[in-house]
Amino acid sequence: MPDQSLQRLRALRARAQEMLNSLSADLGPFCKNDGTFILKPNSSVSSREISPTTTCSCLMSLALSHEASSFYSDKRFGTTAQRVFLDTVESEWKISGLDVNNAFTTALVLRALGFLVEAEVFGTKTGNQVATDTVKLWGLNTSGATTRFSLKQIAQAISKNPKNFEIGAYAPSAAVIYWFVDGVRRASLPLTESNWRNLCSWASTEFNHQLSLVASDNDAMMDPVAMAMSACLCARLRTITQNGLLGAKSSDLAGLPSEVELERSIGYLFAKQTPSGIWNKYFPMFHYQTVGSNYCFTFELLEALLSEFTGPEYKVLDNSEFLDGLEKAVEWCENNRLKCTYNKKTFSGWNSGGSLESLRMSQPESWATAVVHMFLSEIVRVVSTRIQFELLKKYKVRLPKKAKKSGGLGENIGKLMDTQVFLSGKHESLRDLVINEIVKHRALPDRLIDSIEQKTRYSPIPESDKLSALLFGPPGTSKTEIIKAIADDLHWPLVELTPAIFVRESLAFVHARAEEIFDDLMDLSGVIIFFDEMDALVQTREGEANLDITSQFLTTTMLPMLSRLHNRRRVLFFMATNFQDRFDAAIKRAGRFDLLLCMGPPTLKEKYERLHLAYRLPRETAKTKRAGKLIEDYVRGNQSLIDAFELFTYGDFSAFLTGINSDASLIEDSLKSLGKDDFCDALREFSKNIYLKESELTDLKSELGKSTLSDLKEATITYAQVKEIYTEKNLPVPAVARYLCDWHQSKRQ
């Protein structure tokens, strides 16, 4: 039965996803014709006025959920998220009586930039490029700015001193500085070493101060929300300094709180959570001159916590109190969703409680609605990651080899001997086919190899890309090895499934077991799934085979499940078999496998020119190169021997060579000592005991009027035709004849 913890996580994610599905519908009514957003249903809709913080909050929510492009594709707006952001930058950064270039607006604009860059709203441009090109009349907390600065210059100027984040009479807020640092990191904007050091020093002091007040339960002075936001700031600064990013130095790490201290503070925070799921208001971040105090909203806090404290270095997700708190927060969202009608428009969403008037009127606020959706997006991402982590443990996943930044595209596939496939009347390199149609579309640039970005792992695979393949061909043709090589080249985990895992229970539980397994597979992303030795579970339901009840049942069951997995487009999956004619025809239809690939033995060229691979050497040597050339010279002119040698699988080839000499450095000398005649005799004798025997093709060549293996490969041979030929002679169909039938069955779908 499914694990209870998985059931709990899936239920939490489903609740969050259900509300998240309404993101575009919730924000749509707040969007003006120019693409910017109003705060409340009854706010002014003047086309000349832009609310920068409201608009930035909504843009961030759309970007985080990867809906920015689709949202603005609506013809009502006639603009793009990129244009809306640039218009917001050009607007007057003055809200509710705050100074025109206040730190709050500045931080949110820069954070919005970071989110939009990560969502690739600006195309191939980097955040640094956009921030350099985008300019704004700006001055440091003054209302009389006349100088035009780029966003990059603004980020560098405001971060020189934490005091620059003061807003009016209020001291700098950890939340505002966190939003600034988060934006800088997402947009990859470099700051000076001195700026980073000052931010680290301030964050450490603030965290220790707030933690001491909460830990001592000082009711009069404590602010658990400020403590937690300072913990988030310290966690982000630890990541930046630890990796020496954006001009920061790892030496600054020493002054920041440890991961243990930061994680402990989260426990203190959730101890102060109210039964309803939110936190009481403590001290405001600053005061608006026209509308009152501004507090850090619960879901701004939770979004930051989920972003910072759910990585592998933290264990908060192992704490049931943390999950309890998230469930209570989601319940608050479910119970406090507001809906109202104004000017014939229906508005839905949430209210932060900052305005009693709008709360009494059951009016949602756009920015609060956007922030709740950001929290829900993070819930879905974090819980999906956790579920994947649990599933990879459950299925004893094979982790990819440690990434190397200099190997190049297809490095591990290139370590295998290549074979050819016959597609659309042409001979193609299997290695090139796999690299060009599968690997290169999913491969990460060097800068991401060590830490796969979430967008890479959790974004659906585009419809135009291949994501599945049925590999068939004789045993020993490296079907399993190429799947492992693909996983290593993509740096993706590999889940290997055999029939044993499906039939672990009795027949009565087979269907339930298959459903459980595929439910688990549907929860994976950025993973390769390999169905190995599955012949018994997907055999043809027609023809000669007499299937037992279990096999018939599983064959029927597997069909829709493979379609579901394919349609979800979150993983790559492969299935391997020795002979495809024994597979149910429905399994091989489009919508389950994008490629049908017959894998044969390595080509003669590979055997001659890459002999070192038979000894598992990373590169050829002068001696292995000469040894390969010597073998080519020995068999030249002997067509029967050439055909026999071509049918050697990788394993056959390796066994044959190591039988001559197990030391690659001595194989050349051994071949020379053996001589041409003795070598050919040894090759001929060895070929009698391999799986694909050239000698068993004599009758087929005679019946079809062909003289060589190449001639047979060029002919279109069906299994029915082959079976008739051998039946007439009272002989079983040999494996090599089956292989020649399969040779013509490769195709793209």
User: pLDDT tens for residues 333-392?
Assistant: 999 999 999 999 999 999 999 888 888 999 999 999 999 999 999 999 999 989 998 999
Model pLDDT, residue 113: 98
Q: Of 540-549, 571-580, 643-652, where does mean pLDDT reach its minimum?
A: 540-549
Look up tokens 């967008």; give the residue: 455
Model pLDDT, residue 400: 82
With vertex at residue 362, the alpha carbon angle to CA 359 and CA 363, rounded to the nearest 5 degrees, is 80
Model pLDDT, residue 285: 94
User: What integer is the mean pLDDT of 90-110?
Assistant: 89
User: pLDDT tens for residues 524-536?
Assistant: 998 999 998 776 5
User: What integer is the mean pLDDT of 635-659?
Assistant: 96
Q: Are 621 and 665 in contact (CB under 8 A)?
A: yes
Model pLDDT, residue 579: 73
Is pLDDT above 80 for 110? yes
Burial (0-12, 13-18, 19+ Cβ within 10 Å), 546? exposed
Q: Mean pLDDT of all residues in the chain?
A: 89
Q: Which has the higher per-residue pLDDT, 97 or 656? A: 656
Is pLDDT above 60 for 18? yes
- Alpha-carbon dihedral 307, 129, 140, 119, rounded to 10 degrees: -30
Give dist(CA 202, CA 622) in Å, integer: 62
Which residues share a beta bridge with 31? 37
Kindly provide the residue ranges of all beta strands, DSSP E only, lying in 27-80, ordered along the sequence.
Answer: none
Model pLDDT, residue 142: 60
- All domains of the chain in start order, with CATH: 406-598 (3.40.50.300), 604-748 (no CATH)
Give pTM, 2 decimals: 0.85
Q: Read off the tokens for 714.
A: 């060029």
Cα dist from 555 to 28, 521, 540, 743, whole Å:
46, 18, 8, 24
User: pLDDT tens for residues 28-67?
Assistant: 999 998 999 999 999 877 667 899 999 999 999 999 999 9
For 545-576, the DSSP string reads ----HHHHHHHHHHHHHHHHHHHH--SEEEEE
Model pLDDT, residue 428: 94
Model pLDDT, residue 737: 93
Model pLDDT, residue 342: 94
| For the chain, percent of residues with pLDDT exceeding 70 | 91
Maximum alpha-carbon separation in the chain: 100
Helix (H, G, I), strand (E, B) or coil at 481: helix
User: pLDDT tens for residues 668-691?
Assistant: 999 999 999 999 999 999 999 999
Model pLDDT, residue 449: 40
User: pLDDT tens for residues 147-197?
Assistant: 899 999 999 999 999 999 999 889 999 999 999 999 999 999 999 999 999
